[in-house]
Amino acid sequence: MSYARPLLEAYPRAAKVHPDALTATIDALSDCAQACAADADDDLSEPNLNEMVKCIRLCLDCAEVCATTVGVLSRQTEYDVNVTRPLLAACLATCAACGAECEHHAHSHEHCRICGEACRRAERACQDLLTSMH
């Protein structure tokens, strides 16, 4: 029930980016930002907290980077590929690092399995959008 697609279709000018890839990325990153915030908090309630420090740290980074990338991608006016592309690359790298760490804990913590899935979906979306920009 996201508004990304209908809002892009209501944009008064022509979008500079492929609408399918763009809205899929906005939705994936928006979901990933929330998942990472929640997973970092889940980790803080785990008995093996000392083993979850790297996961917490990367989830905090990933939540912030995804949320910021959603904001930048949601803006089409005066679109500047030299701003958007490196941010997408940074977001992809962060999702990949966080996803790998979450997967490392997926067997013992269901919340990390879910968050790893959110990160991998976000990583693929960033990759697809970057590819569509070439």
Give me the least distance between CB of 38 and a second copy, in Å please: 4
Give me the least distance between CB of 132 and a second copy, in Å please: 18
45 versus 107: smaller Cβ distance to a second copy:
45
Residues that bind a second copy (CB under 8 A): 1-4, 6-8, 10-13, 26-27, 30-31, 33-35, 37-42, 44-47, 49-50, 53-54, 56-58, 60-61, 63-65, 67-68, 70-72, 74-78, 80, 82-83, 86-87, 89-90, 93-94, 97, 109-111, 114-115, 117-118
Q: What are phi and psi of 62, to 5 degrees?
A: -65, -40
Alpha carbons 84 and 72: distance in angstroms, whole number: 7
Give me the least distance between CB of 25 and a second copy, in Å please: 11
- Tokens for 113? 């399995």
Give me the least distance between CB of 97 and a second copy, in Å please: 5
75 versus 132: smaller Cβ distance to a second copy:
75
| Sign of the C-alpha dihedral computed for residues 101, 103, 106 and 111 taken in this order | positive
Closest CA to 71 of 93, 59, 88: 88
47 versus 134: smaller Cβ distance to a second copy:
47
> What are the Cα distances from residue 27, in Å, to 21, 44, 50, 70, 132?
10, 26, 32, 8, 17
